[in-house]
Amino acid sequence: MTEELLSGGNAAALVVRVGGTVRKPLFDGASAFSMNSSATARVLDRFAADPFWSVRIAVVEHENTERGTLLRLLEEEPRQRGVVHHAARKRLEAEGIEFGANGMPRA
């Protein structure tokens, strides 16, 4: 079983391929994968680098997203912090991570 990104034109789909047969779409559209509980941490980590903030927000909100992925979504530069940074911070704080006055996790 493998996961692969299939794309054509303006559409993309992340699917599970068993043998030569596509079995289950994991991603179809900008952030539909966020509703798919089968999306793995590895797949979510790939989508955390997407240029669209709505996709990165969906990654933050997905239950399978690992802490390392959430930490990479934080912005060191205060002027660059937007909805993704604040959503990741909120989730990390809910998981017990403390943030300092600089807006980043304490070491």
3-state secondary structure of 45: helix
75-105 per-residue burial string, b: 16 or more CB within 10 A, e: under 16 = beeeeebeebbebbbebbeeeeeeeeeeebb
Query: What are the tens digits of pLDDT across the range 47-85?
Result: 899 888 888 998 999 999 999 999 999 999 999 999 999
Residue 107 is assigned to a structural domain of this protein = no
Residue 22 is assigned to a structural domain of this protein = yes
Residue 103 is assigned to a structural domain of this protein = no
Residue 27 is assigned to a structural domain of this protein = yes
Total domain count, the chain = 1
Query: Are 103 and 81 within 8 A, CB to CB?
Result: yes
Which amino acid is it at 45? D
| pTM for this entry | 0.70
Query: What are the tens digits of pLDDT across the range 2-49?
Result: 544 544 444 445 555 566 665 554 444 545 666 677 888 998 998 899
Residues of the domain holding 28 = 2-94
Residue 78 is assigned to a structural domain of this protein = yes
Residue 37 is assigned to a structural domain of this protein = yes
